[in-house]
Chains A and B, each alone.
Chain A
């Protein structure tokens, strides 16, 4: 009885303390909602970033929502158009090709970060795609620097050594493809005729885009686009590719071991490495080169950045979080590079230890060092605001190209479609 009487005030006090503690946290706790795609890449990386920030800011928690990329874009566009902020997240991932489109067609929807973030530390081309009228929006994230991933074992069977893969032209690449099919029965690469990604890679490697510096259509008089279409046409008529219907099908062409090479952005590394039984069998080389003026072996495909919504209730926390982790945390960039193959665009991060390391999956090659060297050589182009439209026009003409229509006629048809769409 005595004991209980003595204990009661203490219990009451403890209960009161915990209630008030809960009330305080409830008042101060902030949840930042983030929309992004790709569970193996962006989602996982954002969760890692959130966990790092929560360590130093226990009152901030993160809700990373995983959608398909098209769903993120559709939901964002619907939400922005409806003007109801409740439907939108605090932070959203936007692919670089679409950044200007959102910034220009929904003015005031995104929070400007210039003044807060030190943009001089980032790759300039990433900052350029998020600048409108001198204001910079968004936090630059990953680069889409491209590489040629190839199966050493298949190429060896075809009599090709890794050294032979280093300074390829596209014509040589196609010859090798024919040799590989002859000797191993495998196709050289997977190709989705509905995806103009390869055309974009080849075009940008020669420093051109669908649009010129002023954003005007650059189709009929574009030697890089012409050469890119010719190259894809040659790949198709040489039949060194396995046709794929859609993204997952395309991924399946190399995860299943059906093809000998993949030409795409560095962000595919995580997917390639997701097949542990293929460890040691892969190598990475720079992409083949066009035989025209201005051709390089470096290009870019995709890459995206984080944007904070102006309407967000947690705007200040969201900006601080991005600046703290993505803007400064060098160690974070080492971790996501090793775990996920994410080549960030914070230049200071490139001096980190992870970039020096040899990757056993790629037979001990220093692939990250290579990728960051190539990143510095990517020709910068103006993506404009109509890349999706131009891309659709290109895929619409790819079958005509394989049926023997002259490239100049194909370019005219693309130009007609692009001109009708951009207004």
Chain B
């Protein structure tokens, strides 16, 4: 016993071991720890461009009085609350349909649905912009089908612009989540479904009582990943609105606001760092709540 304990403590003093990991530790320190600590220090400074001064909690106070920040935060949370559930449910349904071996052209559909998330962000945003233009293919199709009488102002109306961003990110990321579910579904023993079928459990009940509970760890994982992704949402909004988050700041996200504070407005690196720490805190809190909620149901 004593011998083994000495051995494990001894590992901490092994110079050779430290030498082996030193280069990596150095790089992590330089490229991860240093920027994190420095940006935290920066978030307590304020000023124009390079003329930074220590400002204490002034940046945090500024957050509360900043209507644009509140707007960006509300928008980001709206995307999160509306888009993540839609995407997760859609991905689950698609995965369980495409997991059925009797579906014709399974591989083709799986590839087609996964494909959006490997396309270039800029390319697809530009494509979406064209498709949803006032006289674009979406409006003309809807008009031809008689759904709408005048074109929907996708990019120029605050409400529809938000809807368009949600459509765009759902299109891109649903397939990505679906792949996780498909992989997880392969691990569920088919005999469980067979037994359920013999017992006369209907398809919908099999989905809600077998598939979903067994996929819970994967669902938790994808939810956390999607939460982080949505809170960091930038590219789609930037490209669809030419970097402005318009119309009327309706699509502005926290990340885009950070970009504006750093590159478009009078550069205030301190305040931008404060806003980015808001995202860090939000992601940490939301991930914690999601783990907490998932753990509760285990009992």
Which residues of A pack against B, CB within 8 Å? 70, 73-74, 77-78, 80-81, 101-102, 104-107, 193-194, 243-247, 249, 385-386, 388-389, 392, 395-400, 416-417, 420-423
Q: Which of A106, A194, A420 is the most central at the interface, judged by chain B CB atoms within 10 Å of its CB?
A: A194
B49 — which chain A residues lie within 8 A by C-beta? 80-81, 102, 104-106
Is the CB–CB distance between B263 and A193 below 8 Å?
A: no
B262 — which chain A residues lie within 8 A by C-beta? 77
Looking at the complex, which of B29-37, B65-73, B141-149 is the stretch in contact with chain A? B65-73
Residue-wise interface mask of B (129-147) relative to A, using a CB-CB cutoff of 8 A (1 in contact, 0 not): 1000110000000000000
Is the CB–CB distance between A389 and B265 below 8 Å?
A: yes
B158 interfacial contact with A, CB 8 Å: yes
B199 interfacial contact with A, CB 8 Å: no
Knowing A105-B267, A243-B156, the reply to whether A416 touches B133 (Cβ < 8 A) is: no
B134 — which chain A residues lie within 8 A by C-beta? 243, 245
Distance (Å) between the CB of A196 and the closest chain B CB? 10
Looking at the complex, which of B167-175, B182-190, B243-251, B276-284 is the stretch in contact with chain A? B243-251
Distance (Å) between the CB of B53 and the closest chain A CB? 12
Is the CB–CB distance between B50 and A398 below 8 Å?
A: no
Distance (Å) between the CB of B71 and the closest chain A CB? 8
The answer for the CA separation of A74 and B263 in the assembled complex, in Å, is 5
B94 interfacial contact with A, CB 8 Å: no
Knowing A392-B249, A396-B249, A421-B68, the reply to whether A249 touches B133 (Cβ < 8 A) is: yes
Q: Which of A73, A243, A388 is the most central at the interface, judged by chain B CB atoms within 10 Å of its CB?
A: A243
The answer for the CA separation of A188 and B263 in the assembled complex, in Å, is 35
Is the CB–CB distance between B67 and A399 below 8 Å?
A: no
Q: Which of B50-92 contact A (CB under 8 A)?
A: 50-51, 62, 65-68, 71
A385 — which chain B residues lie within 8 A by C-beta? 48, 266
Q: Which of A80, A102, A385, A389 is the most central at the interface, judged by chain B CB atoms within 10 Å of its CB?
A: A389
B165 interfacial contact with A, CB 8 Å: no
Knowing A74-B263, A81-B267, A104-B49, the reply to whether A245 touches B156 (Cβ < 8 A) is: yes
A244 — which chain B residues lie within 8 A by C-beta? 156
What residue in chain B is nearest A422 (Cβ atoms)? B266
Is the CB–CB distance between A81 and B50 below 8 Å?
A: yes
B267 — which chain A residues lie within 8 A by C-beta? 77, 81, 101, 105
* Dominant secondary structure at the A interface: helix
Q: Which of B147-181 contact A (CB under 8 A)?
A: 153, 155-158
B260 interfacial contact with A, CB 8 Å: yes
Is the CB–CB distance between A245 and B50 below 8 Å?
A: no
Is the CB–CB distance between B242 and A194 below 8 Å?
A: yes
Choose among B66, B67, B129, B241 the residue that contacts A194 (Cβ–Cβ < 8 A): B241
B114 interfacial contact with A, CB 8 Å: no
Distance (Å) between the CB of A109 and the closest chain B CB? 8
B11 interfacial contact with A, CB 8 Å: no
Distance (Å) between the CB of A211 and the closest chain B CB? 12
B269 interfacial contact with A, CB 8 Å: yes
B209 interfacial contact with A, CB 8 Å: no
What residue in chain A is nearest B269 (Cβ atoms)? A81
Choose among B129, B157, B246 the residue that contacts A395 (Cβ–Cβ < 8 A): B246
Is the CB–CB distance between B249 and A245 below 8 Å?
A: no
Distance (Å) between the CB of A40 and the closest chain B CB? 19
Is the CB–CB distance between A420 and B67 below 8 Å?
A: yes
A102 — which chain B residues lie within 8 A by C-beta? 49
A193 — which chain B residues lie within 8 A by C-beta? 156, 246-248
Is the CB–CB distance between A392 and B263 below 8 Å?
A: no
